[in-house]
Amino acid sequence: MAEPAVEPSITRRALFVAAPASGQGKTTVTAGLAVALRRRGQRVAVFKTGPDYLDPDILAEAAGSPVEPLDLWMAGEAYCGRRLFEAARTHDVVLVEGAMGLYDGVPSSADFAARFGLPVALVFDCQGMAQTVGALAAGLAHARDDLSVAGLVANRVGSQRHADLIAEAMPADISFLGAVARETDIALPHRHLGLVGADEQGTDLAERLARAADCVETTALPDAPRDVAFAPFATAVPERLLAGRRIGIARDAAFSFAYAANERLLEDMGATLVAFSPLADTRLPDVDALWLPGGYPELHAERLAANHAMHAALAAFHASGRPMLAECGGMLYLQERLTELGGTTHAMMGLIAGHGIMRERGGCQGMQTAPLPEGDIRGHAHHRTRTEAGPVPIAHGRRARHPAPGEPIVRDRGLTATYLHLFFGANPPAVARLFGAATI
C-alpha cells in the first residue's frame, strides 16, 4: 500500500507581536497592522496566544475573518501548528499576538514564537522613559538565542524628539520600526475582564481601527513580517460520537465566551448546535443537551433575574437529567444569587447552591485540568467573582504548575458546573461523553 502523501511546507510572511507586559498596546497595534495590510490588498490571518475570548473578537474585526486563540499547553503543539499551516494555505500574511509579557507564563509567548520560527515585533509603552527602552529591548531580544526580533514599535510617544531619543538608543541589531503618538485616540476600551467586546463598541470600533491603521502606516511595521516556513502537523479526525444529537448553546450579550474551536469540534463530532438566549427567550429549543458558556451575567443580572419563563424551562430541563455544562458565567447564572460590583443582589436560577459576588480586584486566572468522571479536559480560569456557600464539589481542577486545589467542579444529576472554561479539543471523547454520547 502506498504511503500517504506528505504535505509540503508553505512559506508565508509572518510576525509575532509581543511586549514586555500587558497593557502596552499589543492588541491595538496588531489590529492596526491587520487593517493596514488589508489596505494593501493582502489577505491577513490573525491569531492570539493564550486563552482569550475578548481580544480575538476585536482582532477579527480588523482581520475581516475569525480569529482563534492558540495555546501550547491547553491545545497542544500539533493543534497550534496545524491551525497556523491551514492559515498559511489561504492567506498572504500570518499575524500572532502574544499574551502578557514576552516571557510570562509556561509556556510563554517566547516559547510559541520560537517553536514556530516567528519573528517578533516588540511593542513598548514608552511613557516615562526614553533611552531605557533600548536597554530593555536588548534584554528581551537576547535573553534566549532561539528568538528573532524584527524590531520595536514605540507606543504612546510624546513628541518627535522623544521618538528620536528612543531610536538613537536602540541596539544595532534591533530595528526601530517607528513610533505611535501618545495623543492619538486609538486605545481600545477596557472593563474588569479585559477589552470591551466588539459588538458593544459598534461603529466606534471601526473608527478606532482605522485610526490605528493610519498610525501603523507611518511606521515600518507593515514591512516587518518575514518569510516563515509553516510545516504541516497531522491531527486526528474526530469520531462522530455526537451524531444526531442536538446541543443548545446560550448565546447573547450575557453568554459569549465560547471558543469557535469548541463549537467546530462538536459539529465535527456530528452534533447540531442550536443557539438560545437566556436574556430574551422564554423557552428552550428542542435539544438533547445544554451548554451555558461564560460571559458577563453580572452586567445583565437584572434582566436574567426577571426572565422567569426561562428559569422554569431550565429547571425542567435539569429535572429531566439531561446533560448540562455550565462554565463560569453560566455557573453563576445557575446559582442562587449574584451580587454586582455596586452591591445590588439579584436572584438567579437556584439550580445549585451558591452566591456569586463580584469583587473590585483579584480573582483567578490560570491553566487547570478538569478531572471529570468522563475524563480529564484541559482548560483555564478567568473570573472576578467569588462563590460563597456553594455545594460540595465532586473534584477540583488541577493547576498546571501549582499543587493547591484549583476550581471546584459541581455535579448534580446531568449538570456539570465549574468556573473553568474547557478546551474541548484537549479530549474529544470525554467531551462527547459529557454531552451525552453513548459509553465509548
| 141 three-state secondary structure | helix
Q: Which residues are catalytic?
A: 328
Cβ contact 172:141 at 8 Å: no
Q: What is the CATH number of the domain that holds 276?
A: 3.40.50.880
Name 268's bridge partners: none
Number of domains in the chain: 2
**Nearest by Cα to 248 from 222, 278, 210, 215:** 278
Spatial distance between the Cα atoms of 363 and 89, rounded to a whole number of angstroms: 40
For 225, phi then psi, to 5°, come to: -55, 140
| Grid cell at residue 52 | 482569550
Instruction: Say which residues have a Cβ less than 8 Å from residue 173's Cβ, sequence separation at least 6.
Output: 141, 149
Cβ contact 407:418 at 8 Å: yes
Amino acid at 397: G
Spatial distance between the Cα atoms of 320 and 190, rounded to a whole number of angstroms: 40
Q: How many CB atoms lie within 10 A of CB 8?
A: 9
Spatial distance between the Cα atoms of 217 and 178, rounded to a whole number of angstroms: 10
| 186 three-state secondary structure | coil
Evaluate whether residue 240 is within a structural domain.
Answer: no
Q: What is the CATH number of the domain that holds 216?
A: 3.40.50.300
Evaluate whether residue 439 is within a structural domain.
Answer: no
Spatial distance between the Cα atoms of 416 and 326, rounded to a whole number of angstroms: 6
Cβ contact 16:113 at 8 Å: yes
Cβ contact 327:294 at 8 Å: yes
Spatial distance between the Cα atoms of 388 and 354, rounded to a whole number of angstroms: 6
**Nearest by Cα to 220 from 176, 187, 182:** 176
The answer to whether residues 260 and 195 belong to one domain is no
Q: Is-cis flag, bond preceding 107, omega within 30?
A: yes
Cβ contact 435:266 at 8 Å: yes
Cβ contact 365:100 at 8 Å: no
Evaluate whether residue 98 is within a structural domain.
Answer: yes
Evaluate whether residue 339 is within a structural domain.
Answer: yes
Of 230, 258, 289, the residue that ends a domain is 230
Per-residue pLDDT of 29-51, as tens digits, reads 999 999 999 999 999 999 999 88
The answer to whether residues 202 and 269 belong to one domain is no
The answer to whether residues 213 and 293 belong to one domain is no
Per-residue pLDDT of 77-124, as tens digits, reads 999 999 999 999 999 999 999 999 999 999 999 999 999 999 999 999
Cβ contact 44:225 at 8 Å: no
pTM of the model: 0.91
- Grid coordinates 444529576 are at which residue? 413
- What's the angle, vertex CA 105, arms to CA 83 and CA 50, rounded to 5? 30
Cβ contact 295:261 at 8 Å: no
Domain membership of residue 356 as a residue range: 246-434
C-alpha to C-alpha distances, 257 to 39, 76, 250, 251, nearest whole angstrom: 30, 21, 10, 9
Q: How many CB atoms lie within 10 A of CB 23?
A: 10
**Nearest by Cα to 74 from 353, 412, 426:** 426
The answer to whether residues 66 and 205 belong to one domain is yes
Q: How many CB atoms lie within 10 A of CB 173?
A: 9
Evaluate whether residue 239 is within a structural domain.
Answer: no
Kindly give the confidence (pLDDT) of every residue in the chain, 440 residues in length, as a single tens digit, with 9 standing for 90 and above. Answer: 344 456 899 999 999 999 999 999 999 999 999 999 999 999 999 999 988 878 888 999 999 999 999 999 999 999 999 999 999 999 999 999 999 999 999 999 999 999 999 999 999 999 999 999 999 999 999 999 999 999 999 999 999 999 999 999 999 999 999 999 986 666 655 444 444 544 544 568 889 999 999 999 999 999 999 999 999 998 888 999 999 999 999 999 999 999 999 999 999 999 999 999 999 999 999 999 999 999 999 999 999 999 999 999 999 999 999 999 999 999 999 999 999 988 999 999 999 999 999 987 656 678 999 999 999 999 999 888 989 989 999 999 999 888 999 999 999 999 999 999 999 999 999 999 999 997 65
Evaluate whether residue 117 is within a structural domain.
Answer: yes
The answer to whether residues 209 and 265 belong to one domain is no
Cβ contact 395:355 at 8 Å: no
